[in-house]
Amino acid sequence: MSADFTAAELDAIRSDFPILSRLGRGGAPIAYLDASATSQKPACVIDAEADFYRRSNGAVHRGTHLLGDEATDAFESARGTLASFVGGAPDEIVWTKNATEAINLVAVSMGNASQGLGGTQSAALRVGPGDRIVCTRAEHHANIVPWQQLCERTGAELAWLDLTPDGRIDLETLSVITPNTRLVAFTHVSNVTGAVSPVADVTAAARGVGALVLLDTCQSSAHMPLDLSTLDVDFAVFSSHKMLGPTGAGALWARRSLLAAMPPVLTGGSMIEWVTMEESTFMAPPERFEAGSQPVAQIAAWSQALRYMSTLGMDRIEAHEHALTRMMLDGISSIDGIKVLGPKTDVDRIGVVAFAVEGVHPHDVGQFMDSVDVAVRVGHHCAIPLHTFFQVRSSARASVAPTTTVEEIERLVDGLAQVRGFFGQ
């Protein structure tokens, strides 16, 4: 693993993020430890979105004038930037408004294929009675509910990999990936436990029965190097706002052959080849899946965010956050009455730490921490089944970013040490 950022480098990085100068309700600079919910944005990303509107705003693929050409170039060149960042090809990138839409795109397209849309070309994507979709108990709702809906529509069944007591995927439950499994969908990193999934083991089990694989990278793609060419998955989903980019943009990566086989989900302008009053034909991927107006300014700014992270170095971001993860786990675990949800060590784990404070509701924990100007997430984090597994209804969660400092982790730990006493526990 590469070296952590030096103090001077970290100061320079932090100076790129205007929001880090904000003072909280208590009068101190806000220690923003909620990056896994949404990341903060460097000035270059904010400027890129504003500059697009100031200089190049136009409809993509719809004109030959200068602004239209510039908008189209920004839109399409961003495909190459994201593809390079994740180890794919530009024509394997489909723009969506978020990762949730990307997962739903796959699920609904499979449902359409199961109804006969797409003809014989889409046969490999069909599911029905007797078939199985597999996810894990560690998933965000966005990687559970679409598959539940697909199973309801098609008569397939949903099964799931279970977890070890510390919240990691239990490889002893790989047997749920049976010969009738058509797709295995799982998270690269849990947004509650921070545990890195054993991708090679799960994909090997899926390949052994001929199943497709979808990987949710929302909690990994901004925190570690990512190379889809070595992960052996068929689909992967991304969210701009988790990756120092704007909200309102996401992406699906899929193998080119699968995109060609998938029936469209949204139909209308921009995705058609030809239309008569009787029938329509559709463009080749990725345009087939990009009906209507797209978040072009946000995509252009996301591209800038990817370049920014590449300049920092994903291996160095990982090293920096790994050191903070160890510090955060050690500090939180040392406080009486706090239960960490997930692995207690930093091995195969990133800096996402959810915890339950004995006798104190997570929302009260969050409000107390806000009073000392430390921002954490509270709730079930869109992962109710995982919280049920840990026998809690909800939790508080702290998470790190490339900008996080040792002093901010110390403020988190100091604040948490006061919570139970403040509430009379």
Instruction: Write out the H or E segment, with its range, that includes residue 11.
Output: helix 7-15
**Backbone phi, psi, residue 388, to 5°:** -60, -40
From edge to edge, which strands make up the β-sheet containing 181-187?
A: 93-96, 250-254, 235-239, 212-216, 181-187, 132-136, 157-161
Upper half-sphere CA count for residue 141 (Cβ side, 13 Å): 6
Beta bridge partners of 395: 379
How far apart are alpha carbons 238 and 101 in whole angstroms? 10
Count other C-beta atoms under 10 Å from residue 231's C-beta: 17
Calculate helix-pair angle for 66-86, 296-312, nearest 10 degrees. 40
Residues with active-site annotation? 382
DSSP conformational letter for 56: I
How far apart are alpha carbons 282 and 289 in whole angstroms? 9
DSSP string, 357-422: ETTS-HHHHHHHHHHTTEE-EEE-TT-HHHHHHTT-S-EEEEE--TT--HHHHHHHHHHHHHHHHH
**Backbone phi, psi, residue 136, to 5°:** -135, 165
